[in-house]
Structure 1
Amino acid sequence: MKVAALQMVSGPDVAANLSAARRLLEQAAAQGARLAALPEYFCLIGQHDRDKLAIAEDLGSGPMQQMLADAARELGLYVVGGTLPLKADTPDRVRNSTLVFDPQGQRIARYDKIHLFAFDNGRESYDEGRVLEAGSEPTSFEVDGLRVGLSVCYDLRFPELFRRYAPVDLLLVPAAFTHTTGQAHWELLLRARAVENQCYVLAPAQGGTHPNGRRTFGHTELIDPWGQVLAVQAEGEGVVIGEVDLARIAQVREQLPALKHRKL
């Protein structure tokens, strides 16, 4: 099955971001993708973290969800809406949510980011917990016989989440990694998750310098079950596309049956 990861450099204008996302989804469909995934915060990277609160939608309504549903239906794609803010139970908090729509435009999965990022190296600091309410439930779905597991960005550092999905064929990791942490760990962690779960990893990312001055690492990638990077885009808007091959997964698992050797 052909899959696509869409790299963006989103800004504070939601309408402009939605237009860019739709354009990239159209490019993915034109290249034959069956599933296309947008990055974390495809809809907004604002001047301030709390800008998410102003655009948060109720589940099932709103322009961000409508764009995703319309694109899925009109383009005949499974569309993974990297993340968008959905209203939370806690006041002044939102859920950082991935929504998946099928080619009929129906929502078939929702995953709320479980692990909330915090970082302070003395020069730059960030704490998602100031605005986000954490999710708690791993979520997977099926596409044409492929089992797909969902995660978001900082989740990548917690292998126990991905083990909950095993055996799985494809792991999705929409992200907006900082340039500092991405340079050090992004590809290392993506390849590790692919190797230890003997599956494909598709990671659509934010990649570039945003209007608020923040620089995200990019390097949107597709990785195979042996840990080989099949396709990558370092920075800037674009489409990374490739094949998820069930025969390749079976071959790797037969040659090195590590999943069968698990003891814990």
Structure 2
Amino acid sequence: MKLAMAQTVISTDISTNGAAIRAMIAKAAAQGARLVGFCEGALSGYSKFQMDSPAEWPHFDWAAQEAELRAIAVLCGDLRIFAAVGGAHRLPAGHSPHNCLYILSDSGSLLSRYDKRFLSNSELDGWYTPGTAPIIVEVDGFRLGCAICIESQFPEVFSDYERMGVDGVIFSSYGLPSYFQIALRAHAELNCLWIGAATPAQKAGKGPSGIIGPDGEWMVQCAQKPKPDLAVASLDRSDPAYEIALQKARPWRAKARQGDIYREKLVDDPRSHNRDEY
């Protein structure tokens, strides 16, 4: 299954963002990708970077975002490709929106939505409302979880997905600084997962979009320049490069975490009979 991670410029204009997303979807489809992931806030803009304060949310053009999202979904259906698009999701009056990833199917419909669960300190200051649950989407037999930005600093997000049997995680962020990259590579290797990471073009200088293999190494990355780009790689469970990670390390680690392989080897420790002697 070919996965693509995009690097688009985010502006304050939703229609401009939508056009950039559709152009990249067409480019990904032309390269045979089955899913293309975009960065945090790719459609709506992201908190203080495209908005001055949370007080602007009541004036946000939700109709424009809805129209662009529908147009993106139609294109996904026409080109038979899935897309994970960063945006804001409106909640009832009095509540800040979710910071989310909209998952659009290759049939042209909204398949699912992931709402960021671990918000940063600044996001909690009126910008966003946290989500509550992980989601998994399936594309051509590959199961993919979702995570956003600061969630890279929470190992349990990725280890939980591993226990849920995912093959990879779509990671969407407004920037991929070095410590994010270090963490993502570690999560990929420790859990034997593919991780596709997307950032906006204007933040690519600190780390471009790309795809990490289950061995923790980058498979492919976009140009480290502030311009639109696309990284595409094939996810192949039978790839000899990942035989150790996928065929040996991952199943063995699952047994190790379950613990039976150790309990079978336990022996009676004489020190436990009379602790005063030791």
2:118 maps to what in 1? Answer: 115
1:156 maps to what in 2? Answer: 152
Supply the distance in 1 between the matched residues of 2:253 and 2:136 (Cα, whole angstroms).
22
2:177 corresponds to which letter in structure 1? Answer: Q
- CA-to-aligned-CA distance 1:90-133 (integer Å, 9 cap, x gap): 61511111111111112221110001113xxxxxxx44542100
Deviates more, 1:218-227 or 1:41-50: 41-50
5+ residue gaps in structure 1? 119-125, 210-214
Structure 1 residue 220 corresponds to structure 2 residue 230: no
CA contact (8 A) 1:64 1:84 kept: no
In structure 2, relative to structure 1, the CA distance for the partners of 1:90 and 1:55 (3 Å cut) is closer
Structure 1 residue 238 corresponds to structure 2 residue 229: yes
1:258 corresponds to which letter in structure 2? Answer: R
Supply the distance in 2 between the matched residues of 1:95 and 1:253 (Cα, whole angstroms).
34
CA contact (8 A) 1:114 1:136 kept: yes
1:122 maps to what in 2? Answer: none
1:197 maps to what in 2? Answer: 191
2:174 maps to what in 1? Answer: 176
Q: TM-score scaled by structure 1? A: 0.85
2:136 maps to what in 1? Answer: 140
In structure 2, relative to structure 1, the CA distance for the partners of 1:4 and 1:207 (3 Å cut) is same
CA contact (8 A) 2:36 2:84 kept: yes
Supply the distance in 1 between the matched residues of 2:58 and 2:146 (Cα, whole angstroms).
23
Q: Percent identity?
A: 23
In structure 2, relative to structure 1, the CA distance for the partners of 1:250 and 1:67 (3 Å cut) is farther
CA contact (8 A) 2:18 2:69 kept: no
Supply the distance in 2 between the matched residues of 1:259 and 1:57 (Cα, whole angstroms).
44
Structure 1 residue 74 corresponds to structure 2 residue 78: yes
In structure 2, relative to structure 1, the CA distance for the partners of 1:88 and 1:194 (3 Å cut) is same
CA contact (8 A) 2:143 2:168 kept: yes
1:253 maps to what in 2? Answer: 246
2:60 maps to what in 1? Answer: 55
- CA-to-aligned-CA distance 1:241-263 (integer Å, 9 cap, x gap): 11111224564233322233215
In structure 2, relative to structure 1, the CA distance for the partners of 1:31 and 1:5 (3 Å cut) is same
Two-structure CA RMSD over aligned residues (Å): 2.2
- Tell me the SS of whatever aligns to 1:99: strand
Deviation at 1:217, TM superposition (A): 3.6
Q: Greater strand share, 1 or 2?
A: 1
Equivalenced residues, count? 245
2:3 maps to what in 1? Answer: 3
In structure 2, relative to structure 1, the CA distance for the partners of 1:100 and 1:250 (3 Å cut) is farther
Structure 1 residue 105 corresponds to structure 2 residue 94: no
Q: TM-score scaled by structure 2? A: 0.81
CA contact (8 A) 1:190 1:201 kept: yes
CA contact (8 A) 1:55 1:85 kept: no
Supply the distance in 1 between the matched residues of 2:34 and 2:77 (Cα, whole angstroms).
12
Supply the distance in 2 between the matched residues of 1:49 and 1:169 (Cα, whole angstroms).
38
Deviation at 1:65, TM superposition (A): 2.1
- CA-to-aligned-CA distance 1:110-159 (integer Å, 9 cap, x gap): 110001113xxxxxxx4454210000111112111111101111111111
1:229 corresponds to which letter in structure 2? Answer: W
1:41 maps to what in 2? Answer: 41
Higher gyration radius (CA)? 2
